[in-house]
């Protein structure tokens, strides 16, 4: 007889991992930034469908929250990851809407940089993952990788690539940086832990 399937810690870890990856993919592949345009120009743009734009934004938010909530970690860690997700995405949408109506203008290049959708996606996905995985403080240095997507975006725009190539390049960059950053953080954690154990061993001798 087959054993009963249980949603244990290993299953929750696997489900959370898939959820974060899927949410990260949708976050950068789906142009939910149209939600900001819909909030500003609802009823003005002929091709605009505000309900769909809002659904895409809430779907991305919901997937991240669900994935981090089911992770086999302490409640405090899971709550911190969910809080990061909500704060970053809602703040992104709020500033984007304010910029659209002209309340936030200067400096333009700074806002274009910090509101880059690839950067926001990587901050939420990688930042939340570091929290629930209980990485040490040194491992958070990998969050410096979030500045790469805006740089790539600027380079692609200056190169006048097609919209399809632009989207594929952004998706690839975020996925590679996200997975690479998670592994790099694990390596940093192991390295720091090994050095601490070595120092403790020397001190005990």
Residue 89 lies in a domain: yes
Range of the domain at 127: 9-204
Burial of 42 (0-12, 13-18, 19+ CB in 10 A): middle
Q: What is the pLDDT of residue 44?
A: 47
Return the exposure string of 182-196: e unless at least 16 CB atoms fall within 10 Å of the residue's CB, then b.
Answer: beebeebbeeeeeee
Q: What is the pLDDT of residue 93?
A: 82
Residue 78 lies in a domain: yes
Q: Between vectors from CA 67 to CA 66 and to CA 71, what angle results, nearest 5°?
A: 115
Q: What is the pLDDT of residue 37?
A: 54
Residue 4 lies in a domain: no
pTM comes to 0.81
Residue 2 lies in a domain: no
Residue 3 lies in a domain: no
User: Is the pLDDT higher at 151 or at 51?
Assistant: 151
Residue 31 lies in a domain: yes
pLDDT at 202 exceeding the cut of 70: no
- The DSSP code for 136 is -
Mean pLDDT of 28-33: 68
pLDDT at 1 exceeding the cut of 50: no
Residue 120 lies in a domain: yes
Mean pLDDT of 88-97: 84
Residue 1 lies in a domain: no
Nearest CA to 188 among 127, 138, 144, 125? 138
pLDDT at 43 exceeding the cut of 60: no
Domain count, the chain: 1
Mean pLDDT of 98-115: 73
């Amino acid at each position: 007889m087959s054993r009963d399937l249980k949603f244990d810690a290993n299953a929750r870890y696997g489900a959370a991992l898939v959820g974060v990856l899927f949410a990260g993919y949708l976050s950068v592949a789906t142009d939910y930034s149209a939600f900001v345009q819909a909030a500003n120009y609802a009823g003005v743009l002929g091709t605009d469908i505000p309900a769909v734009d809002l659904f895409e934004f809430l779907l991305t938010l919901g997937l991240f929250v669900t994935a981090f909530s089911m992770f086999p970690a302490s409640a405090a860690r899971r709550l911190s990851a969910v809080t990061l997700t909500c704060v970053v995405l809602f703040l992104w949408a709020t500033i984007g809407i304010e910029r659209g109506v002209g309340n936030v203008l200067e400096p333009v290049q700074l806002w274009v940089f910090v509101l880059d959708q690839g950067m926001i996606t990587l901050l939420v996905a990688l930042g939340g993952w570091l929290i629930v995985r209980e990485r040490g403080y040194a491992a958070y240095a990998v969050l410096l990788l979030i500045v790469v997507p805006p740089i790539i975006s600027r380079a692609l725009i200056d190169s006048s690539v097609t919209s399809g190539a632009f989207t594929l390049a952004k998706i690839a960059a975020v996925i590679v940086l996200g997975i690479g950053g998670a592994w790099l953080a694990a390596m940093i954690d192991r390295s720091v832990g090994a050095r601490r154990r070595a120092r403790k061993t020397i001190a005990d001798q």
